[in-house]
Amino acid sequence: MILLKNGTIFSPEYLGTRDILVAGEKIIAIENEIKPSRWAFLEVINLEKKWILPGFIDSHIHIAGAGGEGGPATRTSELSFNEIIEGGITSVVGCLGTDGITRSVCSVLMKAKALKHQGLSAWIYTGSYQVPPPTIMDSAARDITMIEEVIGVGEIAIADHRSSYPSVDELIKVTQEAKLGGLMGGKAGIVNIHIGDNNAPFELIYQVIERGGIQFHQFLPTHCNRSREVFEEAKTYGEKGNIDLTTSSYSFFPDTEVKPSEAFFELLDAGIPMEHITLSSDSGGSLPHFDKDGNLVKIAYGKPNSLFMEVMDIIREEKSQAPKAVQIVTSNVAKRLKLKTKGHIKPGYDADLLVLNREKNAVHHLLSKGQWMIRSGKRENI
């Protein structure tokens, strides 16, 4: 049992200074004061002047590597456990990307299982850029229904020169399979969409919704800040649908991408509902830049800690927005993906807790399901 005392809690809503009692994997109490003498076998940690946040949920991360657009030598490696937790991340949703040819959904699934074994929470999307999507059990619906870790399909690429350019009917079929798998498996059954930078990037989704009788919440378009043009389209889409901003690529492409923290404030100013906004890292994937003729000019590699850095940039810019900054990487993601015990600091929820050192804007402690991942800024030996 662990007692965290005197921390300032963002659940993500601001709760003030409280004590949190953790037993096993769960939060069992949050009170103004919890006296240690009431409990045996108790570790007491004083967190005065520290902030306590829910562990971050990265809903789009290439845990098993990705890339390859520049040839075999540009395939990226698996993300390490340390890279993930250094970004305050306790839950991940892994995916394939461009390469649904030499890589498999099985490899992503096994990496997710490895991360779970190490103490994180991990899920995956079945599929890749291509339609029809590669799967494990010959059907996206069957993967979602039968495999615990599979919660949706993705990332399906549209409006991108690397896409298989699915028709409206093809994307309707994929989306209905995801929906059916979600219904049967009690999961989100969401379709994670890679938005490219072609003209009218959201048009295919609009057509699928209109013709297929499908709801906006069935889709999670990502990379919505990849260019100013795409971002302006995303503002209109975000009035009704979910939009996800990518954090790992801005530092490599500052001349083309909209910085996620700045995009966040623009979305609020545009009146986009808070519940429609999330951040994800897209880390582990390659970040290729192509010229106008489609030739690869340069390629970079995204990092998981970009998620943490952008949240900190929002808070530094306007401290009063801290609850909303936390919301877009915790409760919004958990609600959208139906991760029922994630995203909040509440009794009965998983003890995924990020303790923030506000003086350094750094991860001070990190608990994942009640297990120490980082203590006093150092990786725990698990």
Helix, strand or coil, per DSSP, at residue 122: strand
Give the list of residues 6+ apart from residue 163 with CB closer than 8 angstroms, or none: 129, 157, 194, 196
Q: Is 157 left (phi over 0), alpha (psi -120 to 50) or beta?
A: beta
Which residues are CB-neighbours of 375 under 8 A, at least 6 positions away? 365
Peptide bond into 134 cis (omega under 30): no
Residue 368 backbone dihedrals phi, psi, to 5 degrees: -125, 115
**Active-site residue 244, yes or no?**
no
Active-site choice (19, 58, 99, 282) = 282
- How many residues in the chain? 382
For residues 308 and 351, give the distance between their C-alpha atoms in angstroms, rounded to a whole number: 19
Transcribe 265-289 into DSSP letters: HHHHHTT--GGGEEEE--TTSEEEE
CB-CB contact of 263 with 226 (8 Å): no
Q: What is the 3-class SS of 82-96, one letter each residue?
A: HHHHCCCEEEEEECC
Q: CA–CA separation, 126 vs 140, rounded Å?
A: 7
Q: CA 102 to CA 311: how far, in whole Å?
A: 34
- Residue 59 CA to residue 337 CA, distance in Å, equals 8
| 232 vs 235: CA distance, rounded Å | 5
The catalytic residues are 282
